[in-house]
Amino acid sequence: MTKLSLGSHPYMLGFEDLERLLERNAKSGNEGYPPFNIEQTSQNSYRITLAVAGFAENDLSITLEDRQLVIRGRQSDEYEGRIFLHRGIAARQFQRSFVLADGVEVGEAIMENGLLHVDLTRAAPEAVVQRINIRKG
């Protein structure tokens, strides 16, 4: 049995870029850290919330790269010279990527009580009906 992909499915035309974007996101190293939630806040808006305890605003960056929302965190090494008897609080860098559909725009980002909230909105698509004329060849 042959595996069909979006780009090779006979009824899905023009989705090759989306397939490449999904493959790139799968290889981006998204692991379980930091934990996150995605909630739908209205019919056309979403909120991504990441648990980033210990990170300051300056330790985080949010970029939009080719329909891919990338959130990175890297803490400064302020623990140099300190002796820990137990170190259970993670102080590592991370990268989280989310693929955004066409029409989804990134709104504001808010830090609150160790949580990073990123708001997204989706423009309501217009219903378009186009009539194609048939000419004799």
Would residue 127 count as lying in a domain?
no
Would residue 111 count as lying in a domain?
yes
Would residue 112 count as lying in a domain?
yes
Amino acid residing at 32: G
Top-confidence residue, 98 or 6: 98
Would residue 11 count as lying in a domain?
no
Would residue 137 count as lying in a domain?
no
Structure confidence at residue 1 as a pLDDT band (50, 70, 90): low
Q: 134: Cβ–Cβ under 8 A, 6 or more apart, which residues?
A: none
Question: DSSP for 36-79?
Answer: EEEEEEETTEEEEEEE-TT--GGGEEEEEETTEEEEEE----TT
What's the pTM? 0.73
- The CATH number given to whatever domain includes residue 61 is 2.60.40.790
Domain encompassing residue 74: 31-78+87-122
Which residue in 58, 61, 69, 51 sits closest to 112, CA to CA?
51
Top-confidence residue, 97 or 137: 97
Q: What is the mean pLDDT of residues 41-59?
A: 94
In total, how many domains does the chain have?
A: 1
